[in-house]
Amino acid sequence: MILYRCTLKKWAKDLTGQGAFLYGGRWNSPGKYAVYTAENNLLAALEVALRVPLTNISSDYVMVPILAPDNASVVYSPPLPKNWNRNPKLTQQIGNEFLDVNRFLLMKVPSALMSNTFNFLINPKHKLFKEVKVNKPESLFFDERLIKMMKKENE
């Protein structure tokens, strides 16, 4: 399975989950190691584009394909209530349990950005984690029309 992570160039090969450990995220509390990935490169870039201007993403970030083993165990997030994306305590509780139980390498979770798209949390403490591999990071290119549109939105 190929998953994607959009990150600063200096963190391209880092799959420790240190950022999630330090700051927490939608699906984990601070103090829990997790690696956030997306099911495709567009979603991975979009997740970052919420916080970082596209011009910075083009120059400072890379897209990292991550290979999870074909025999990786995947758990799906439980059914979520309406407006789940506005309840970080709920999603962090779900993610923390996934990480603590340590039964699965991956947890498939819905993206809060767009319906019918998914992110995957990787548990770096799982026994199969050593089989997760980072492929060659790829430079990002955004069409100038998209960058112009985003600039107009921010004016």
Q: Which fold has domain 2-149?
A: Diphtheria Toxin; domain 1 (3.90.175)
What letter would DSSP give residue 52?
A: S
Residue pLDDT, tens place only, 46-104: 999 888 877 777 788 999 999 999 999 999 999 999 999 999 999 999 999 999 999 99
Q: Check residue 146 and give its pLDDT.
A: 81
Residue pLDDT, tens place only, 102-136: 999 999 999 999 999 999 999 999 999 999 999 99
| pLDDT tops 90 at residue 144 | no
Residue 155: pLDDT band (50, 70, 90) is low
CB–CB of 127/49 below 8 Å? no
The pTM score is: 0.92
What contacts 40, CB < 8 A, 6 or more positions away?
Answer: 4, 117
Distances (CA, A) of 12 to 5, 49, 58, 107, 135: 8, 17, 14, 21, 9
